[in-house]
Amino acid sequence: MKKQFWQKPAWKKTLIGAVLLAGALLIALLIYTFQLLQPVDPAATSLERFIVPKGAAVQTIANQLHQQGFIKNPWVFRLIVKSKGLENKLQAGSFELSKNMAPQQIAALLTEGTQDVWVTILEGWRKEEIAESLANQGLDQFDADEFLSLAVASEGRLFPDTYLVPREITAAGMYQLLTSTFNRKVEQGLAEEIAASKYDLDKAIIMASLVEREANDYEQMRHVAGILWNRINIGMALQVDATLQYAKGYDRAEQTWWPFPTAADKSRQSPFNTYLNPGLPPRPIANPGLNAIKAALDPLEVDDLFYLHASDGSMYYAETLEGHNANVSRYLR
């Protein structure tokens, strides 16, 4: 007589039960995965801006997509990107996405041409360098000459940073962005530091532009700022080589705005020549970053009057000319 199911051995019952359970779990997993591959809101009609930061990892992008409600699960998005070999194809920039898009569609869109461009303005650039760089960024409506005309009196206040800008941004739009960022990050962001400083902001910006060109890290900047303010306080010429470079302008032979200064440059007649003219130059010589501005507002209190740069990037300081000459012999000869 054929045995009924309930008459089968216990191990067979267990095995069959396990198979049925595994099958049920697999079906549930497939259904769940299918759901995760669907749009967050199929009925959505609006487009929203999504920004992929410069250099962002796939994990970061997936988490931001999830946090902003464009995908249901970041792990599923990462698996899609990996399975399709898109890890190195996702672009930085801004994209118009909708919550009616499936994660596969979003992944594909993020590999296509972004609507915006990331541009980086480096600390210590003069306005001409900024204009040249922007002119080479593929900004369709940017005009370098117009930008320089607008920025003629704004050296020092074209804030260095990395910006995400529309490809169609104009010279006026770019100028407004840089100067408004200066206002936000310096005049407003450093309001307490400015109020507590004994130095006027306009003069501090000029000093910061010198410090930006003369020092590397924040502590060096504070030390150099302290030395240069000391020189001003005693009526000593600043003798900053960067001001000679600024006065000289573009050097076609070296193809740089910051050529190595020569002995003849120290005799160049220019209000920016701090070997001939005591005190600060009339205007900033570059556009300093936040650290240089902070250093100019809050310099290190030192008795030093001299500094030099060693070949390895180190800086050495001295209170007297004799001490400075000793440093020159020790570190530069």
Q: Could you read off the pLDDT of 198-245 as tens digits, one per residue?
A: 999 999 999 999 999 999 999 999 999 999 999 999 999 999 999 999
Range scoring the smallest mean pLDDT among 18-22, 130-134, 271-275: 18-22
> Domain residue spans in the chain?
48-109, 116-188, 199-302
- For residues 142 and 134, the answer to whether their CB atoms sit within 8 Å is yes
Residue 35 has pLDDT above 80, yes or no: no
In sequence order, what DSSP letters do the residues of 250-310 get, joined into one string?
-BTTTTBSSPPP-TGGGG---TT-TTTS-S--SS-SS---HHHHHHHHS-------EEEE-
Average pLDDT over residues 98-115: 86
Q: What is the pLDDT of residue 270?
A: 95
The model's confidence at residue 136, banded by pLDDT at 50, 70 and 90, is very high
**Where are the alpha helices (H) located in the chain, listed in sequence order?**
10-36, 58-67, 74-83, 103-109, 127-135, 144-150, 171-182, 191-196, 201-214, 218-233, 241-248, 290-297, 321-331
Give the Cα separation of 145 and 170 in Å (integer). Answer: 12
64 has a pLDDT exceeding 90: yes
Task: Look up residue 229 and give its two tokens.
Answer: 């303010």
Contact 270, 195 (CB under 8 A): no
Provide the residue type at 53 as one letter: P
Q: What is the mean pLDDT of the chain?
A: 89
Strands (DSSP E) found in 128-276: 162-166
The answer, yes or no, to whether residue 109 has pLDDT greater than 60, is yes
Higher pLDDT, 299 or 114: 299
Three-state DSSP class for residue 13 = helix
| pLDDT given for residue 36 in this prediction | 64
Whether residue 85 has pLDDT greater than 80: yes
CATH architecture assigned to 48-109: 2-Layer Sandwich (3.30)
pTM: 0.76
Note the pLDDT of residue 296: 98
101 close to 48: Cβ distance less than 8 angstroms: no
- Cβ atoms within 10 Å of 122's Cβ, excluding its own: 15
Residue type at 96? E
Left if phi > 0, otherwise alpha if psi is -120 to 50, otherwise beta: which for 138? left
Burial grade of 113 (CB within 10 A; 0-12, 13-18, 19 or more): exposed
3-state secondary structure of 193: helix
Q: 45: burial class by Cβ within 10 Å (0-12, 13-18, 19+)?
A: exposed
The pLDDT assigned to 138 comes to: 86
- Burial classification of residue 102, based on how many CB atoms lie within 10 Å of its CB (0-12 exposed, 13-18 middle, 19 or more buried): middle
29 pLDDT tier (thresholds 50, 70, 90):
low
pLDDT of 54: 80
